Amino acid sequence: MAVSKEFTYHATDTNASQFLGHCRSSEYSLTVADRIGIERFLRFAANSHVVYSPILIGLLQHKLRNSRPAPDPAPASLVTSGREVTYMISGAGAVKGVLSLGLVCRAGELPVHTLLGATLLGMKPLQKSALLNEDGDIGTVVVLNVATPHTPEHT
């Protein structure tokens, strides 16, 4: 599956708002648990000695403000914390990981406190989104599949 490379300009602090403009949050749905997890992380980040990317903080705040509430229970196809997501970034191969709200990650987890994890949260299969990389480049991420993980460490 080919992925559009329409978002391939270099991002700086001055065009971070353009990046957020590409993230049409009305296309995202967040569960109550994920909203609470994001709020907890944002409170932690505000009082932490760890410096988190202002763009990450802005993306999470943007999703909280603009995302639709997910139905309860959340559809099985919605990327939520605790679910395994298969995704592809800008035409690279498919990758899997379990989305996590935890601050300490285990192998195979995609933490929401990263730009990739924050971007994937609330997406659905075949949905595309702009993805800001740590080096400032903007690519595209597409969700290929969402599943409940079957490994004992994620159940």
Cβ atoms within 10 Å, residue 62: 18
The segment with the largest mean pLDDT, out of 9-13, 93-97, 133-137, is 93-97
What pLDDT shows up at residue 75? 94
Nearest to 147 by CA among 125, 132, 114: 125
Give domain status of residue 6, yes or no. Answer: no
Q: What is the pLDDT of residues 42-82, one digit of tens each?
A: 999 999 898 888 889 999 999 999 999 999 899 999 999 99
How far, CA to CA in Å, does 97 sit from each of 5, 73, 104, 137?
23, 22, 15, 22
Q: Which amino acid is at 82?
A: G
Distance of alpha carbon 133 from alpha carbon 130, whole angstroms:
10
| DSSP secondary structure letter of residue 26 | G
Q: How far is CA 100 from the centre of its chain?
A: 10
What pLDDT shows up at residue 133? 76
When mean pLDDT is compared across 7-11, 18-22, 102-106, 113-117, the lowest value belongs to 7-11
Distance of alpha carbon 62 from alpha carbon 57, whole angstroms:
8
Give domain status of residue 139, yes or no. Answer: yes
Number of domains in the chain: 1
Mean pLDDT value of segment 99-128:
93
Domain of 33, CATH number, reads 3.10.50.30
Give domain status of residue 2, yes or no. Answer: no
- Residues facing 87 on adjacent strands: 95, 143
Give domain status of residue 102, yes or no. Answer: yes
What pLDDT shows up at residue 84? 97
What pLDDT shows up at residue 12? 43
| Mean pLDDT rounded to a whole number for the chain | 82
Is the predicted pLDDT of residue 10 greater than 80, yes or no? no
Is the predicted pLDDT of residue 86 greater than 90, yes or no? yes
